[in-house]
Amino acid sequence: MPKRRARKRKGSKGGGSKQFPPMFKSQIEVSRRFRFQVTSQTATTTSNIRRSDLLNLLMVNLAGGTSSARLIAGVKVRRVEFWGLSNSASVQNTGTISIEWLSQFGPSREISDTSIPSIRPPYLSATPPVQSAASFWSLTGSNESEVLFTLVATPSGCVLDVLLDIILFDGESSVIITTTASGTTGQLYMGYLDGPISGGKWQPVSYTSLT
C-alpha cells in the first residue's frame, strides 16, 4: 500500500522558523583587495606600514580642508602580493623586493625575491606569520603607532596588493585624519598605504586619493 505524503499546512514554511526576524551581523564587514603603486621614487626605498596607516585607508572629507573622518574601525591583513615592476625602460625590472613582518613575540620574518633581468620582475606573495603584529586585528585607538611590516621597493612602478578584512565604524569615538592636501566636502577618499603624509610613496590605484 503506497505511503501517503504528509501535507504541509497552508502558509507554513519549515515549521514557522521564519515567523520572527533571524539573527544577523549588524556591523558592516567586508573583505577587499586594495592596490597601490609607487609613483614618485628614483631609488630603492624602505616604507614602514603602521596600524594607523591601514585604519586611515578610507576617509570622508569634512569641510573642504585638510580634515577628514576615518571610516575603518578595525582591519586585519590577510595577504600581500608584491610585483617589482618599473616605469623605466632602462631599469628592465631589475632589483630585489622584500617584506619584513615584525613581531613583539618573536623574531621578524623577511621574504624577498630578486628579478631575472630582462626575463621576469621580482614577485612575492605572503601572509602574516603566526604571532606577527599583522596577524592580529588593528583597532582604532589601540596601539596605532605599531609598525606591522616593512616594504623594500625598487624605483617607480612597483605594485602592491593588500587583501584586508575591514569593519566599519559602529558607534566608536570619531577619529579625525589630518592630510597635507585639501579635499572636497563629503568626498570619500582612499589614503596612501604609507599614511597621509607629504611625500607618500604608495598611491592607491584607480581610486580618488588624498595625502
pLDDT tens, residue by residue, 107-137: 999 999 998 887 888 999 999 999 999 999 9
Give the pLDDT band (50/70/90) at residue 72.
Answer: very high
177-195 per-residue burial string, b: 16 or more CB within 10 A, e: under 16: bebeeebeeeeebbbbbbb
Q: What pLDDT is attached to residue 3?
A: 61
β-strand partners of 40: none
pLDDT tens-digit map of 10-57: 554 555 567 899 998 888 999 999 999 987 766 778 899 999 999 999
Q: Among 2.60.120.220, 3.40.50.150, 3.40.50.300, 2.40.160.20, what is the CATH number of 27-210?
A: 2.60.120.220
Helix (H, G, I), strand (E, B) or coil at 145: coil
Which residue, 160, 200, 159, is CA-closest to 53?
200
pLDDT tens-digit map of 156-201: 789 999 999 999 999 999 999 999 999 999 999 999 999 876 678 8
Do 91 and 84 contact (CB within 8 A), yes or no?
no
Helix (H, G, I), strand (E, B) or coil at 110: strand
pLDDT over 60 (residue 90) = no
Q: What pLDDT is attached to residue 189?
A: 96
Percentage of residues in the chain having pLDDT higher than 70: 86
Give the pLDDT band (50/70/90) at residue 6.
Answer: low
In angstroms, what CA-CA distances link 83 with 1, 150, 165, 186, 195?
Answer: 71, 15, 22, 34, 20
pTM of the model: 0.86
Max intra-chain CA distance, the chain: 86
Sign of CA dihedral 76, 82, 87, 88: positive
Q: Tell me the C-alpha distance between 133 and 110, whole Å.
A: 13
Which residue, 210, 178, 181, 206, is CA-closest to 193?
210
Q: Tell me the C-alpha distance between 192 and 38, whole Å.
A: 10
Give the pLDDT band (50/70/90) at residue 65.
Answer: very high
pLDDT, mean over the chain: 88
- With 0-12 / 13-18 / 19 or more C-beta atoms within 10 angstroms meaning exposed / middle / buried, residue 39 is middle
The torsion defined by the Cα of 62, 138, 84 and 97, in degrees rounded to 10, comes to: 140
